[in-house]
Amino acid sequence: MVRAVRVLLFATARTAVGRRELEWTVPPEGIQASELARELATAFPKLAPTLRASRLVRNGHPVDRPTTRIRPGDEFAVHPPYGGG
Amino acid sequence: MTGSVRLSRRPLSMASAARALAGPDLGGVVVFAGRVRRDRRGPARVRAIDYEVHPGPALEVMRRLDRDARRRYGAEEVVLWHRVGRVPAGEIAVIVGVAAGHRAPAFAAARYLIDVLKRTVPIWKTERARSGRRPRGRRHPPTGRSSG
């Protein structure tokens, strides 16, 4: 049974953690997006400032509420401020 | 409507973009290219920019911008192409092209597309100096090193 969320890290988030991707175990009922962000910031203190400035994205769509539930099997991406072009 | 939204690891061509915007009824055509330029400040010259992308969301936003340009400005044909991976100085990193009936909507739509692309499409860049490392004194993500 899937218990993990696939966490994708880009740009400064990737360099803060030193990895592009993590498997993050969550409860079977899921976890709020804000709580997952807090867990990541605790586990990777260098990630905390980037998280504060980042958009959180669940399964390709922006998380518009901190209470959005992230469930096992979801993809959860950390998007620092964009800089294309 | 033949919208053209693309993320590419290969060089982008202005000529290809112009061909994609061709049409006998399209009197105004604007093609903008943003090139990676060498950083002339400081001892470490920028030799390339690495572009990182979250492909699914990036393409979704780019398709939305394409639709917006048509609806808001009357663009008839749109090109929205962006490089990913390492792009050496001098090469094109992004092409925005619009064809419309007249010049005013073409200019307005092209300006809208490049400005909003930079703010809303999940693409990030990291400058690379001659050594392959970031230039000293620059923090990621850098700004204003390409596309004019």
Report CB contact under 8 Å: B57, A61: yes
Using the Cβ of A57 and the Cβ atoms of chain B, whether some distance falls under 8 Å is answered with yes
Sequence-distant (≥ 6) Cβ neighbours of residue B97 within 8 angstroms: B17, B18, B20, B21, B29, B30, B31, B32, B77, B78, B79, B80, B110
CATH of the domain at A9: 3.10.20.30
pLDDT tens readout for residues A19-47: 999 999 999 999 999 999 999 999 999 99
A49 in a structural domain: yes
A59 in a structural domain: yes
pLDDT on residue B132 = 53
Q: Which residue has the higher pLDDT, B45 or A69?
A: A69
CB contacts under 8 A, B 35-94 vs A, are 51-54, 56-57, 60, 82, 93-94
Report CB contact under 8 Å: B123, A84: yes
CATH class of the domain comprising B4-129: alpha beta
A42 in a structural domain: yes
What is the total count of domains within chain A? 1
- Which residue numbers in chain B have pLDDT < 70? 1-3, 40-42, 131-148
Q: Which domain holds residue A68?
A: 4-20+29-79
pLDDT on residue A84 = 87
A64 in a structural domain: yes
A84 in a structural domain: no
Q: Where are the domains of chain B?
A: 4-129
B130-137 contact pairs (CB < 8 A, 24+): B130/B44, B130/B45, B130/B47, B131/B44, B135/B39, B135/B42, B135/B44, B135/B45, B135/B46, B136/B42, B136/B43, B136/B44, B137/B42
